[in-house]
């Protein structure tokens, strides 16, 4: 309890400063004029035995000081202003929060190193198969535009234009149906270009009628 101390006659008055080296924080009591070190308390854990709050005030604490030769002592320290006492607490909390974060990052990095590593390389003789759906569709569309084989009469016949409408929106004029010549079968009703009109069938058979026998 701070009430049991001689608060009106402190044994020493000066400046308190907190520094850190690695994961350890150091509470240093220094002369407020010369900066000469009066005592220091290494803190390896907070809250812990190195720094404890009193039960009857938020401005007073008990800290464990060390002289570096193994000798330790517990002394009481207090702040005139309550805001300074709050900053003292926050500084220690922030330091050990940072220590916990560093420990967690180091543990995660160690787990990644010890964990199984994925081998994403190809094994010897291993192959992969790519299924590209659009490739077959394009090949099929190209095959439909190939010209048909030539008919018996030596003409290369093409299919009628698809859709019945041109790209400009106009309907192409229908081509006249050519007359079928003897011995020249026509497999399509439309040709891709106009054909010469064959001679009337009567004239063709007339030549045969004049022949003897």
pTM of the model: 0.50
Domain range annotation of the chain = 2-114
Q: At the topology level of CATH, where does 2-114 sit?
A: PH-domain like (2.30.29)
pLDDT tens for residues 147-196? 555 555 555 556 666 655 555 555 555 555 555 555 555 554 454 555 55
The yes-or-no verdict on residue 113 having pLDDT over 90 is: no
Among 17-26, 43-52, 201-210, the range scoring the smallest mean pLDDT is: 201-210
* Integer Cα distance of 114 and 148 in angstroms: 67
Beta-ladder partners of 186: none
pLDDT at 72: 94
Rounded to whole angstroms, the Cα distance separating 195 from 126 reads 59
Residue 92 buriedness (CB in 10 A; 0-12 / 13-18 / 19+): buried
């Amino acid at each position: 309890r701070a009430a049991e101390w001689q608060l009106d006659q402190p044994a020493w008055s000066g400046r308190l400063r907190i520094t850190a080296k690695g994961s350890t924080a150091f509470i240093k009591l220094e002369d407020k004029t010369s900066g000469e070190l009066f005592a220091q308390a290494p803190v390896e854990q907070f809250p812990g035995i190195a720094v404890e709050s009193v039960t009857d005030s938020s401005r007073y604490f008990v800290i464990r000081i060390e002289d570096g030769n193994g000798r330790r002592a517990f002394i009481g320290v207090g702040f005139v202003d309550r805001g300074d006492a709050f900053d003292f607490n926050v500084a220690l909390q922030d330091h050990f929060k940072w220590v916990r974060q560093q420990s967690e990052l180091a543990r995660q990095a160690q787990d990644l190193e010890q964990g199984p590593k994925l081998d994403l390389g190809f094994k010897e003789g291993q192959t992969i198969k790519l299924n590209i759906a659009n490739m077959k569709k394009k090949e099929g569309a190209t095959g439909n535009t190939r010209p048909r084989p030539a008919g018996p009469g030596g003409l290369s016949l093409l299919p009628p234009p698809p859709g019945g409408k041109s790209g400009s929106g106009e309907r192409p004029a229908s081509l006249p149906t050519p007359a079928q010549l003897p011995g020249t079968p026509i497999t399509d009703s439309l040709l891709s270009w106009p054909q010469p009109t064959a001679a009337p069938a009567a004239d063709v058979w007339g030549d045969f009628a004049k022949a003897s026998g």
